[in-house]
Amino acid sequence: MPALTPIEAARPKALEFFAGIGLARMGLEAGGFRVAWANDYEPDKKAMYDAQFGDRADHQFTLGDVAAIDASELPQDASLAWASSPCTDLSLAGARAGLAGRQSSAFWQFIRLLRELGDRRPPVAVLENVTGLATSHGGDDLAAAIMAFNDLGYSVDVLAIDARRFVPQSRPRLFLVAAQDAPEETDEFVSDLRPDWLSGIFTDSSLRTHRAKLPAPPAPMIEGFGALVEDIPPSDGLWWDADRTAAFVASLSPIQRERVTAMRRTPGVKHRTAYRRTRRGEAVWEVRPDDISGCLRTARGGSSKQAVVKLGNKRLQVRWMTPREYARLMGAADYDLSGARTNQALFGFGDAVAVPAVAWLAEHYLEPLATGRLTRIDARELRAIG
């Protein structure tokens, strides 16, 4: 196992709950942290994690249910605890059971472990989840999550960040940043990071919240997917045959078919993404009109997999998106895929957080907060905004 360099050893230590294939780790380490411990319960994800990161003397991966972990097993001097808890019960694509759902309730195990750490709990904790958390059960789930952090002595900031600000993929996510010592605040209730649908959280007198002063994030990308597409020859077997392609076109709505036909006739080559959806009980394909990918999802069936449509010069070809394209759209272009099965990789990336979104948050907020470089006020004296 390679030894740590002095620079690596000096970095603040982070814990990575619900680590998946390690994209949060990639972002946190790009933003100045050193991830010392990780956990996930899926062997396929751990296999990809191990292939990407290898062994490191100061890192431990605990495979298994987070409910079986005891706080004594965790590093006791961490500066940050990151949790990308399961979003199945909160996603707009799920059953919306909320934090009480079988999978999303793993969040409460994260809270349990923070509580058991006592005065050794990290000064900063983050919950990353889908934006559906903000509306789940009329907003009660988000308030309950904030209250849980409040009960542990944390003040909470809530940010909405779309990965589209960094990669050509529409992937909005919610980030709850919990701080024992809250940073100096901004007076802005509505910004690119805190849209108006979050404003009620900051005016709720029952919650202890803050709004850190942060730089403006990059503007959302309006193009770029085509530049990430793998160069696969037209004769390659990955492209669908004539019958399957004809069935794809036949499933398009009249408006969709007209748009696709127009793009097909134009000179030059364009790439678009497509999803299969159910409309009025029928499976249909829908093609995005722009050069941006739709949100990648966990590939547990054809309806969740994304297709690539190649158009132009009077030709149209369709195929499934490749694992390497998934990796590029998650900001992990060089991820080691050498030993991963296709569906294993698609599921791992579709169930993860975009690397550059985490890196931006770590660089501009989490690392300065954990190391005291943000101007801070004592959260115990923080007056709820209202």
Domain ranges of the chain: 6-220+353-381, 231-321
User: Residue 97: which pLDDT band, with cuts at 50, 70 and 90?
Assistant: very low
Q: Whose CA is closest to 186, among 204, 168, 172, 199?
A: 199
pLDDT tier for residue 316 given thresholds of 50, 70 and 90:
very high
Q: 367 burial class (0-12, 13-18, 19+ CB within 10 angstroms)?
A: buried
Could you tell me the pTM of the whole model? 0.90
- In the chain the beta strands, taken as DSSP E runs, fall at 13-17, 34-40, 60-63, 80-83, 124-130, 155-162, 172-179, 181-183, 270-279, 282-287, 307-312, 315-320, 376-378
Mean pLDDT score across all residues of the chain: 89
CB-CB contact of 227 with 221 (8 Å):
no
Contacts of 233 (CB under 8 A, 6+ apart): none
Q: Are strands 172-179 and 155-162 parallel, antiparallel or unpaired?
A: antiparallel
Residues 25-29, mean pLDDT to the nearest whole number: 98
pLDDT band at residue 247 using 50, 70 and 90 as cut-offs = very high
pLDDT of residue 374: 76
Question: 134, 198 in Cβ contact below 8 A?
Answer: yes
Exposure string over 330-359, b if 16+ CB within 10 A, otherwise e: bbbeebebeebeeebbbbbbbbbbbbbbbb
pLDDT at 376: 53
Query: What CATH code is assigned to 6-220+353-381?
Result: 3.40.50.150
